[in-house]
Amino acid sequence: MSTSALDRLAENRLLALLPAAELDAMRRHAEVVSLRHGHHAIVPDEPIRDVYFPLTCLLSMVTTMEDGSTVESGSIGREGMSGIPVVLNAGQTTMPTFCQIPGDAVRLRAEILKESYERSCEARRTLNRYVHTVVVVGSQSAACNALHRVEARTCRWLLMSSDGVASDVVNLTQEYLAAMLGVRRPGVTEVAGKLRAEGLIDYSRGNVRIVDRAGMERLACECYGRVKGEYERLFGGA
């Protein structure tokens, strides 16, 4: 990797928290890649060969039903990684993970991450804490999807996506947002129109821009603050 590419590893907040010696060891094998929308970071029921640490992209962990309907159970931005089954000795999963918002990520062979996990107590402690946050996100998402209104869920989802790519502009369509929330598109269209009329967001085809973050946080359900607070508790807001 080039020097500039090597320097980008620390843009991922989880990588930045790893011990310097482990991060240096990973640098020899890491590669910065550009992921397109729809790229499968994890294919269901297939061995996970690579893990991805997002830099500017956003990955989605999705549950797909027999009839083809989908709902997002969690997203992965610059605070995390794909491929948790690798460190849990599972090797694969039934849940697909794919690129939701295109951008750059650090790609690392799964066995390199596993070696670091087994070699370093500090790396293992950091990654175990991240595994815990993913469990929290999944549990909170399940409750959120069942109990909260579409407007509150939309605000939560947009805020979390914005945090994940470190930008107020989220690159996605309303159709895709509806699929991630597990609702019909007309419901999302109505909510988006209301949020724009209130000056909270603006959008054009394929892009949503958060204009008033404080206002969005007031309308978002409790799930946004709870998940964000747990990450900050464990990682000190890193």
CATH number of the CATH domain containing 76? 2.60.120.10
Give me the pLDDT at residue 69, please.
Answer: 73
Do 27 and 103 share a domain, yes or no? yes
Do 16 and 82 share a domain, yes or no? yes
The mean predicted confidence, pLDDT, of the chain is 88
Encoded tokens for 206: 């394929």
Do 115 and 154 share a domain, yes or no? no
Does the pLDDT value for residue 141 go beyond 70?
Answer: yes
Do 112 and 18 share a domain, yes or no? yes
What is the domain count for the chain? 2
Q: Residue 88: pLDDT band by 50, 70, 90 thresholds? A: very high
Q: What is the domain extent for residue 80?
A: 3-120
Give me the pLDDT at residue 49, please.
Answer: 97
Nearest to 50 by CA among 8, 97, 94, 101: 97
Nearest to 175 by CA among 162, 192, 156, 200: 192
CA distance linking residue 69 with residue 104, whole number of Å: 28
Does the pLDDT value for residue 2 go beyond 80?
Answer: no
Give me the pLDDT at residue 6, please.
Answer: 55
Do 114 and 210 share a domain, yes or no? no
Calculate the CA 213 to chain-centre distance: 19
146-154: average pLDDT: 86
162-191: average pLDDT: 82
Q: Residue 233: pLDDT band by 50, 70, 90 thresholds? A: confident
Q: Contact, 70 vs 62, CB < 8 A?
A: yes
Give me the pLDDT at residue 5, please.
Answer: 54
Give me the pLDDT at residue 184, please.
Answer: 80
Give me the pLDDT at residue 235, please.
Answer: 83
Q: Residue 75: pLDDT band by 50, 70, 90 thresholds? A: confident
170-188: average pLDDT: 77
What is the chain's alpha carbon radius of gyration, rounded to the nearest angstrom?
18
Give me the pLDDT at residue 3, please.
Answer: 45
Do 11 and 114 share a domain, yes or no? yes
Q: Is residue 144 part of a domain?
A: no
